Chain A
Amino acid sequence: MSRPVISVRSLVKTYGKVEAVRGIDLEVGPGEIFGFLGPNGAGKSTTISILCTLIRPTSGVAEVAGFDVREDPSAVRARIGLVFQDPSLDGQLTGRENLEFHAYLYGLPAATRKQRIDDALSIVDLADRASSTVLTYSGGMRRRLEIARGILHYPQVLFLDEPTLGLDPQTRNNIWEYLHTVRQREHITIFMTTHYMDEAEFCDRIAIIDQGKIVALGTPAELKTRVGGDVVTISTPDMAALADQLRSLMQLDSTQIDGTLRVEVADSASFVPRLFSELSVPISAVSARRPSLDDVFLKLTGREIREQANTSLDTMRRMGRMWGGGGRR
């Protein structure tokens, strides 16, 4: 890999006795889309805040765009773009005015300012709505405008903290298309956090973080091979007996999830017939599928990521966005 754009070594952040980040190492190369995955409270937001110079690390080194976040935060800030978890647009300004505000803050030269704003608006397909106030935008449009704003000052890295949180699935996919366009057009590195496992598939590489530590790092395909074959989910009236028989007769460890048993097998096509011929426990349903990143997370941490995914805070955020980003602005 060529010289990394983001380089993190033994990063630690503690709040009193609470260790939010417990020794993280990672490198992100130029032009990569790097996903940072994990449940809420895993340390994602803390890590991204350190990389954006919003929080000072307790120990360890973090370099972004060639500058140390601790020693030269201004240099880092000038070279990164940010899309926050919570909306941060001025609803009473138009889309264009929001971008103009940003252009001034980051000192875009006057000669190219207008052209650059037009370009950024066209990348996210908002050129025709540029002179409406942001209050009239939908949640997806606001996110797109924030992405346009994030790339406006030619940053080397665009950081996005849960960019699709609270958006409906269609809008989420749509945002991803724009992010890929941005990467292609702007040649920038994208570093993002999410707790939607399915979104990680859009990334070049992902790091799975749990309880302040990286538990896995690689391409989505690499991580999925860790599950070892297919995932088979079995429903039965007698869970204990089935788990017993799977272990004694087939040497398979199963995990109980939502009233079903889950096993990993090398080849599900040959496994399912054996299930019925060799076991005596009644089985009411069987399904087999390719492993997803949810399975990877489950395998690595023994927990399902979605258990914690939909907290009341998320619901509140989603409501907030639905009702126009928090009242009259």
Chain B
Amino acid sequence: MSEQALTTATATHPQTVNIRGATLRAIIIIWRRDLIRYWRDRMRVLGSLAQPILFLFVFGSGLSSALRGSTGGLGGSGSSLQYVQFIFPGIIGMSVLFTSIFGAMSIVWDREFGFLKEVLVAPIHRSAVAIGKTLGGASQAMIQGLVILVLAPIVGVKLTVVGVVELVPAIFLFAFALSALGVAVAARMRTMQGFQVVMNFLMMPMFFLAGALFPLTGNLPAWLLVLTRLDPASYGIDALRRIVLTASGLPSQVVRGFEITLFGWTVSLWVELAVLVAFGLLMMGLAVYGFRQRD
């Protein structure tokens, strides 16, 4: 019928397909979508404060007074460090960990409800999904982690401008590493059924082993010591703890008392951040591979 009309229409078609440019744009829009959804779900931001508050005020205060009764504080005798101050960076880490993994799991949700198809049939490289989702999840987790900082004055943690400025990139790298892990797992998951498994066998062990609630130094049993060193979240939480406690004005020997050691060698903040970046990149590679393999 309208052959002439079709030719005219064809002329306006964007016929040159630049996959690389399209993939970059796709990463940005996938990232942006996650942030729009996050922003639209503001109640979640408030709701997600409930668990940290429970940990800090009920668990933290409870254990604080118990510890005061026995040893007189953490980090050696005479230390002014309260248990609740000790776990504060751990609770930031907890928020980052949970938000990252939950954020990544939205891929499975998208897959189950069809939206992922819209992305997978687009003329873009599959890596855009992995990278965009990792960045989207990491951004949400970073915001969630930073939101916890509003509780700092209440638990007696002093924050300085420098401290907060240092925390932002540290939290982001931590969130990036965990989001990449989550996306790598989610890329292989078909249904939400597997989510419970991920919770019980990945998220909770990572949280408990990361030193959020107890120091990873001292007299841990050998098996536990090994497991905590294998948990990438240990390095993230330790990094946050160094920054928070230093900013809080605690004497450096108290701060140093909690630092992670590997074979007798103290891991520096830079090494910890490097571990997070390396782990994140490795996981993102696996995520890209996972999306290429399937679907």
Q: Name the B residues within 8 Å of A75 (CB-CB).
A: 17, 123
Name the one of A93, A108, A153, A325 contacting B36, with C-beta atoms under 8 angstroms. Answer: A93
Q: Contact between A87 and B113 (Cβ–Cβ < 8 Å)?
A: yes
Q: Contact between B6 and A31 (Cβ–Cβ < 8 Å)?
A: yes
Name the one of B8, B14, B40 contacting A153, with C-beta atoms under 8 angstroms. Answer: B14
In the complex, whether B277 has a CB less than 8 A from a CB of chain A is no
Q: Contact between A154 and B26 (Cβ–Cβ < 8 Å)?
A: no
Q: Contact between A92 and B123 (Cβ–Cβ < 8 Å)?
A: no
Residues A187 and B118 in contact in the complex (CB < 8 Å), given A77-B123, A105-B29, A326-B112? no
Q: Contact between A154 and B123 (Cβ–Cβ < 8 Å)?
A: no
Name the one of A30, A52, A154, A186 contacting B121, with C-beta atoms under 8 angstroms. Answer: A52
In the complex, whether B10 has a CB less than 8 A from a CB of chain A is yes
Name the one of B14, B113, B118 contacting A154, with C-beta atoms under 8 angstroms. Answer: B14
Q: Contact between A88 and B115 (Cβ–Cβ < 8 Å)?
A: yes
In the complex, whether B230 has a CB less than 8 A from a CB of chain A is no
Name the one of B9, B26, B114 contacting A187, with C-beta atoms under 8 angstroms. Answer: B9
Residues A104 and B29 in contact in the complex (CB < 8 Å), given A154-B9, A187-B2? yes
Q: Contact between A187 and B5 (Cβ–Cβ < 8 Å)?
A: yes
A82 to B117 Cα, complex, angstroms: 10
A165 to chain B, nearest CB (A): 13
In the complex, whether B271 has a CB less than 8 A from a CB of chain A is no
B30 to chain A, nearest CB (A): 8
A1 to B76 Cα, complex, angstroms: 88
Q: Contact between B36 and A97 (Cβ–Cβ < 8 Å)?
A: yes
List the 9 closest A-B pairs by CB distance, nearest first.
A104-B29, A88-B114, A105-B122, A78-B123, A77-B123, A187-B9, A187-B5, A30-B6, A78-B17
Q: Contact between A107 and B36 (Cβ–Cβ < 8 Å)?
A: no
Q: Contact between B113 and A327 (Cβ–Cβ < 8 Å)?
A: yes
Within 8 A of B (CB), among A135-174: 149, 153-156
Q: Name the A residues within 8 Å of B22 (CB-CB).
A: 105-107
Nearest-neighbor residue (CB-CB) of B120 within chain A:
A54
Name the one of B3, B8, B118 contacting A31, with C-beta atoms under 8 angstroms. Answer: B3
Residues A54 and B123 in contact in the complex (CB < 8 Å), given A30-B6, A187-B9? no
Other A-B contacts than A32-B1, A77-B123, A88-B115, 9 sampled, CB-CB below 8 A, are A30-B1, A54-B121, A79-B15, A87-B113, A100-B29, A105-B122, A106-B123, A109-B14, A154-B14
A53 to B17 Cα, complex, angstroms: 16
Q: Contact between B1 and A101 (Cβ–Cβ < 8 Å)?
A: no
A325 to B113 Cα, complex, angstroms: 8
What are the interface flags for B104-117 relative to A under an 8 Å C-beta threshold, 1 for contact and 0 otherwise? 00000100111101
Q: Contact between B2 and A30 (Cβ–Cβ < 8 Å)?
A: yes
Q: Contact between B33 and A90 (Cβ–Cβ < 8 Å)?
A: yes
B: which residues have CB within 8 A of A?
1-3, 5-6, 8-10, 12-15, 17-19, 21-22, 25-26, 28-29, 33, 36-37, 40-41, 109, 112-115, 117-119, 121-124
Q: Contact between B113 and A326 (Cβ–Cβ < 8 Å)?
A: yes
A18 to chain B, nearest CB (A): 20
Q: Contact between B6 and A154 (Cβ–Cβ < 8 Å)?
A: no
Q: Name the A residues within 8 Å of B114 (CB-CB).
A: 84, 86-89, 326
A52 to B9 Cα, complex, angstroms: 21
Q: Contact between A88 and B118 (Cβ–Cβ < 8 Å)?
A: yes
Nearest-neighbor residue (CB-CB) of B10 within chain A:
A156
Q: Contact between A92 and B37 (Cβ–Cβ < 8 Å)?
A: yes
Nearest-neighbor residue (CB-CB) of A204 within chain B:
B1
In the complex, whether A329 has a CB less than 8 A from a CB of chain B is yes
Residue of B8, B29, B40, B115 with most partner-chain A CB within 10 A: B115
Residues A84 and B117 in contact in the complex (CB < 8 Å), given A78-B17, A107-B14, A154-B13? yes
Within 8 A of B (CB), among A301-329: 325-327, 329
Q: Name the A residues within 8 Å of B37 (CB-CB).
A: 90, 92-93
A102 to chain B, nearest CB (A): 7
A275 to B115 Cα, complex, angstroms: 58
Q: Contact between A77 and B8 (Cβ–Cβ < 8 Å)?
A: no
Q: Name the A residues within 8 Å of B121 (CB-CB).
A: 52-54, 77, 82
Name the one of B8, B9, B14, B124 contacting A105, with C-beta atoms under 8 angstroms. Answer: B124
Within 8 A of B (CB), among A249-270: none
A84 to B114 Cα, complex, angstroms: 9
B34 to chain A, nearest CB (A): 10
A61 to chain B, nearest CB (A): 21
In the complex, whether A58 has a CB less than 8 A from a CB of chain B is no
Q: Name the A residues within 8 Å of B119 (CB-CB).
A: 105
Name the one of A54, A78, A82, A186 contacting B14, with C-beta atoms under 8 angstroms. Answer: A78
